[in-house]
Amino acid sequence: MNTTSSPEALVALAVERVNAGQREPARRLCEQAQAAFPPHPGVLQLLALLNLQDGRITEAAHHAEASLALRAAHTPTQQLAGEAFFQLSLQRHEANDRDGEIEALQQVVKWMPQRAEALVNLGIALQEQGCIDEALTAYGRAWRLRPEETFGRIAHALATPGSGRMWLKLDDLRAALADASA
């Protein structure tokens, strides 16, 4: 067992292990730091990264949120949290857990507000739940961020029978998206 006297020193050693491709020794160092010291944002961030790399999505999201609770404005951890929750949203989509998918996508948008793909997915999930006005808001935000990349998916989703809306002119749809995101 390593007798390093600070969480920062253990994180530094763990990062060395990660950079050398030794994720399990890095995980053990993080777990050692968790057991020996109060919660540390760097330890939690590294655990989030390791869990995400290992496909432990729920654990990754939990550790990223815990790290952000200690340093909310840390951009790399925000991006890590966003990616963890995006992966979680995909898992929940596959499991037909629409409420869980929406919750996860809302977290993505919280941590990565510029992620247009998450906004489109959020719009689709909200639309499927019958929340068309909220879906339009999400679609509008996505469209404002990346109009060329998102318009086709948005138009296709909105044309879904039973849960969508129809515009006869594409310019009218663009105007509706602009209004929805304002």
Same domain, 118 and 36: no
Buried b (16+ CB within 10 A) or exposed e, 135-161: bbbbbbbbbbbeeeebbebbbebbeee
Instruction: Report the distance separating Cα 159 and Cα 182, nearest Å.
Output: 22
Low-confidence ranges of the chain (pLDDT < 50): 1-2
Nearest to 181 by CA among 148, 147, 158: 147
Count of the separate structural domains present in the chain:
2
Q: Quick check: is 51 in a domain?
A: yes
Same domain, 75 and 7: yes
> So what's the pLDDT on residue 165?
80
Contact of 122 with 98, CB cutoff 8 Å? no
Instruction: Report the distance separating Cα 177 and Cα 170, nearest Å.
Output: 11
> So what's the pLDDT on residue 4?
66
What's the pTM value of the predicted model, to 2 decimals?
0.85
Structural domain of 120: 114-182
> So what's the pLDDT on residue 105?
98
Q: Quick check: is 47 in a domain?
A: yes
Paired tokens of 87: 């992966």
Same domain, 4 and 83: yes
